[in-house]
């Protein structure tokens, strides 16, 4: 046990309702800013809970453009080409994975691609996209998305991350409802402590939810439906308050790059923190 490898965080990125970069996210979080508002990209006219962390119209193209100067022209064009085919959830995973990999200093760094893994936490990511394709099939079957059979599959997301980052090690998604991110981190952590990998890219993509998903969670009495909070969205998320009345559905994505400590030190990487264990 004394020779057990130590695992550190060397890269991070996030896109969420209070920030699409680490600095803004941290500052807004410390300031107590809320990203909860009325849904406008989901039709909640038949849904009791009408508030959430809505990022359905987030401009992923602009987010990629901001990273252009940090990529080679060839790499950027490759990602742009893939972008045209990606679902909302896939874009959220890829852009945060790319930014975290850049943050870790690993884009362009010579690393054995077979010793890097890609873990994606979550499942049923593309329910809004799937619903749209079903509606399209009902109306004009010949005009469904030609790549629907691939893009609707959750494992396509870790596959795309691998294609974008050149990863050739273990890559798959893990589903455990709200604990999916932790479970993905657990497998990435194990890849490193067992010596199979030097680096693991652990991502939690956005769930592209539709109105029936929000309605279903409301049926479980899981979402806020108290009128006083529906009329005051920015104060509705209060999990530790005596007046709590449920959680808030929200879009959000994040990626962390975790790495063997000695590997990180050898390449002079900045280290955010050490991962001592995963529950």
β-pairing, 171-174 with 116-121? parallel
Q: Is 117 helix (H, G, I), strand (E, B) or coil?
A: strand
Expressed in percent and rounded to 5, the helix, strand and coil fractions of the chain are 45, 15, 40
User: How far is residue 131's CA from residue 189's CA, in Å, rounded to a whole number?
Assistant: 35
The confidence score (pLDDT) of residue 2 equals 54
- Write down all domains in the chain, each with its CATH number in brackets: 55-209+249-275 (3.40.47.10)
Q: Are 120 and 174 in contact, with CB atoms under 8 Å apart?
A: yes
User: Angle 73-83/60-67 helices, nearest 10 degrees?
Assistant: 170
User: For the chain, how many helices (H) and strands (E)?
Assistant: 11, 8
The confidence score (pLDDT) of residue 1 equals 47
The confidence score (pLDDT) of residue 156 equals 97
> For each of the chain's 279 residues, which pLDDT tens digit applies?
457 899 999 999 999 999 999 999 999 999 999 999 999 999 999 999 999 999 999 999 999 999 999 999 999 999 999 999 999 999 999 999 999 999 999 999 999 999 999 999 999 999 999 999 999 999 999 999 999 999 999 999 999 999 999 999 999 999 999 999 999 999 999 999 999 999 999 999 999 999 999 999 998 989 999 999 999 999 999 889 998 889 999 999 999 999 999 999 999 999 999 999 887
């Amino acid at each position: 046990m004394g020779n057990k490898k130590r695992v550190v965080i060397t890269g991070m990125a996030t896109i969420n309702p209070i920030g699409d970069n680490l600095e803004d996210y941290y500052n807004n979080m410390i300031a107590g800013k809320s990203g909860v508002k009325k849904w406008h990209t989901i039709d909640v006219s038949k849904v009791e809970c009408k508030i959430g962390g809505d990022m359905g119209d987030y401009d992923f193209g602009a987010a990629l453009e901001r990273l252009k100067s940090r990529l080679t022209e060839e790499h950027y064009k490759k990602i742009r080409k893939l972008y045209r085919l990606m679902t909302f959830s896939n874009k959220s995973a890829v852009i945060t994975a790319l930014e975290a990999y850049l943050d870790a200093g690993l884009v362009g760094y010579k690393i054995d691609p077979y010793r890097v893994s890609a873990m994606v936490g979550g499942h049923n990511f593309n329910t809004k996209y799937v619903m749209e394709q079903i509606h399209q099939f009902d109306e004009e079957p010949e005009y469904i998305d030609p790549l629907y059979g691939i893009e609707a599959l959750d494992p396509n997301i870790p596959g795309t991350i691998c294609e974008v980052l050149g990863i050739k090690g273990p890559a798959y998604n893990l589903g455990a409802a709200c604990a999916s991110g932790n479970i993905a981190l657990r497998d990435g952590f194990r890849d490193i402590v067992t010596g199979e990998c030097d680096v693991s890219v652990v991502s939690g993509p956005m769930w592209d939810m539709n109105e029936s998903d929000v309605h279903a969670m409301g049926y479980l009495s899981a979402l806020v439906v108290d009128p006083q909070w529906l009329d005051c969205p920015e104060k509705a998320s209060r999990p530790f308050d005596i007046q709590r009345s449920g959680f808030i559905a929200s879009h959000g994505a994040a990626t962390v790059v975790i790495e063997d400590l000695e590997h990180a030190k050898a390449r002079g990487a900045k280290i955010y923190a050490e991962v001592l264990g995963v529950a």
